[in-house]
Amino acid sequence: MLKRIWKARSGYLFILPKFIFFTVFVLVPIIWSFFVSFQEYRIFGTEWVGLRNFRDALQDDLFWMAVSNTLRYAVVVTPCSVAIALILASLIHPLRPGAQTFFRAAFYLPTVASSVVISMVWRWIFQTRYGLANYFLSLVGIEPINWLHSSAWALRSVIIMAVLTPPGVGVILYLAAMGSIPESLYEAARIDGANRLMQWWKITVPLVKPTTLYLLIVSTIGSFQVFDQVMMMTQGGPGYATTTIVHRIYNVAFRDFEFGYAGAMSMLLFAAVIVLALIQSKLVSSDAEYKG
C-alpha cells in the first residue's frame, strides 16, 4: 500500500496546494461550525451551553420575523423569476442568432453588475419625493408611495426589485436546453395539427423540466440567503420589516458578537437548505424515470 502511494506521489503533489486552502478555509470551518453553535462566546474563554443557542433561536421573535420575511420573499421571487426566464427564453429561441445574442446580453447585463450597484440604484429609484418609481406612478395618476420607509411597502419594494431584475442565468440555461430539443418532435406535432402554443406547452415545457427544477431549487436556495439587497436598501428596516435570515445572522454575529447564537441560526438555515436539496434530488430522479 505504502509503495503504491509512493509510486503515485506526483498525483498527491498536484493536489496538495489546493488541498491546503481547502482544509483551512472549508474543512476546518465546517467542523468548527458544529462546535460554535453549542458554545457561548465570552471575552475570556468560551462555555458549553448544549442546545441553549438553538432553543433561544426558536424562541426568538426576531428570528421568526426574519424567517417569515425570507419565506415571503422566496415564495414570490422564485416562481416569478423562473417563469420570466422560461417566457423570455421561449420568445428569444425562435429569433435569428444575432438577435438572440443581443437579447441574451441585455437580460444578463444587470446580473454582471454587482447586487450592491443594482441595490444602490433601486434605493434611488424608490426614493419617495424624487424617485423614478413614484414619477412613473404619477404619470398614471397614482399617489406617491413611501416605498422603503414604511413597514407595509419595504419588503414589497425589495421583492419588486428582485422580480424586475431579469433572471439572466435562467434565460441562458433555458436557451441551452431548448437548443438541444430535436426539431423532428416539433415537425411531428405540426403534422398532427398542433398550433405553436400547443407545441410549446406539450413539447418545450416538458422537455426543459430538468432545467426548471434546477433553477427552482437554485433560486430558492438563493432567496434563502438574500442579504446584499436588504443591507444596501433598507438595513433590515424600518424596524425589522425587511430583516432576512442572513441579515439577522450578520447582525447577531458581527454587531452583537454572539457567535454561538449566530452559529446556531446558521445551522438551522443549513438544515433548511439541505431539506430543499433532498427534495430536489427526489424530484429530479422521478423526472428521469418519466423521461425513460
Partner 1 sequence: MKTRRVSEIGMAVIYSVLIAWAVISLIPLYWVFATSLQQPGEVDVMPPKLIPTVISRYLPLRLSGEAEEAAALVDGALESYRLLFRKTNMGRWFLNSLMISLCATTGILLLDSMAAFSFAKKEFPGRNFLFWLMVGTMTIPGQVLLVPMFMVVRELNLVNTPWAVLLPQLSMVFGVFMLRQFMLTIPSELMEAARIDGASEFGIYWRIMLPLAKPGLATLAILTFTSSWNSFLWPLIAIQKSEWFTLPVGLKTLQDQNLVNYSLLMSGAAVAAVPMIIVFLSFQKYFVKGLTLGGVKG
Residue ranges in 246-285 that form contacts with partner 1 under rule CB under 8 A:
246, 249-250, 253-254, 259, 262-263, 266-267, 269-270, 273-274, 277
Size of the site for partner 1 (CB under 8 A): 96
Hey, which bits of the chain come out as E strands?
39-41, 46-48
Shortest reach from residue 1's CB to partner 1, in Å: 7
Residues 111-140 binding partner 1 (CB under 8 A) are 112-118, 120-125, 127, 129-130, 132, 135
Q: Is 36 a residue that touches partner 1 (CB under 8 A)? A: yes
Q: Is 24 a residue that touches partner 1 (CB under 8 A)? A: yes
Q: Is 54 a residue that touches partner 1 (CB under 8 A)? A: no
Q: For residue 29, what is its C-alpha cell?
A: 470551518
Q: Is 205 a residue that touches partner 1 (CB under 8 A)? A: no
Instruction: Give the separation between CA 66 and CA 239, rounded to whole angstroms.
Output: 12
Shortest reach from residue 253's CB to partner 1, in Å: 5
**Closer CB to partner 1, residue 116 or residue 142?**
116
Q: What is the DSSP letter of 41?
A: E
Shortest reach from residue 176's CB to partner 1, in Å: 5
Q: Which of 169, 1, 180, 156 is nearest to 85 (CA)?
A: 169
Helix 168-179 with 61-92: angle, nearest 10 deg: 40
Instruction: Give the separation between CA 204 and CA 147, rounded to whole angstroms.
Output: 39
Shortest reach from residue 180's CB to partner 1, in Å: 5
**Closer CB to partner 1, residue 7 or residue 59?**
7
Helices (H), 126-240: 132-139, 154-164, 168-179, 183-191, 196-199, 205-207, 209-224, 228-233
Would you call 49 exposed, middle or buried from its count of C-beta atoms within 10 A (0-12, 13-18, 19+)?
Answer: middle
Residues 40, 71, 79, 225: which binds partner 1 (CB under 8 A)? 225
Instruction: Give the separation between CA 5 and CA 201, rounded to whole angstroms.
Output: 56
Residues 133-192 binding partner 1 (CB under 8 A) are 135, 164-166, 169, 172-173, 176-177, 180, 183, 186-187, 190
**Closer CB to partner 1, residue 65 or residue 268?**
268
Instruction: Give the separation between CA 136 and CA 126, rounded to whole angstroms.
Output: 11
**Closer CB to partner 1, residue 28 or residue 142?**
28
Instruction: Give the separation between CA 70 and CA 23, rounded to whole angstroms.
Output: 32
Shortest reach from residue 59's CB to partner 1, in Å: 20
Residues 59-88 binding partner 1 (CB under 8 A) are 88
Residues 51, 58, 75, 95: which binds partner 1 (CB under 8 A)? 95
